[in-house]
Amino acid sequence: MDIKRFIINKLILFFMLSTLITVAVALIGSAFAGEESIGYKTMLMPIGYAALCMLPTFVTYSKRELSLKELLLRKALMLVLLEGVMMLIVFTSPVIDSSDIRAVLTIAASVLVIFVLVNLFLWLKDSAEAKKMNRDLEKFLQQHEE
């Protein structure tokens, strides 16, 4: 994959992550601190989390097409790194009660759910693009057979 396409994919990923992290923060915050109110600056927190979570995604970059085994290995490494980034945030944040094991496990589980959802969304997008390219190729070949 060329670097331009890689960066475009990372921008798409960033906005997906920002949205899903915002949903997760709202759900987890409601469950563990529902009576608390937040300020407008706090609403930017998911964007910062998404930016930090972008860093581990660079382990999937390759100039050549990865084999399925290589891709799965890199995705597993990326998930471990993502969990590490979020646990670093959890244990250094003055806002999150890291002594509440339920809260920590809920955040770790939300990272896994977001990881699965993002990969599912990206697969659906890539699958639709591949189907369109195949249809376009079929049309092109039919036109040149005539």
Inter-residue contact 62 to 80 (CB < 8 Å): no
**pLDDT tens digits for range 72-130:** 999 999 999 999 999 999 999 888 889 999 999 999 999 999 999 999 999 999 999 99
**pLDDT tens digits for range 42-74:** 888 889 999 999 999 989 888 888 899 999 999
Domain coverage including residue 47: 3-145
Domain count of the chain? Answer: 1
Cα angle, residue 111 at apex, residues 113 and 122 outer, rounded to 5°: 60
For the CA atoms of the chain, what is the radius of gyration? 19
**pLDDT tens digits for range 11-33:** 999 999 999 999 999 899 889 88
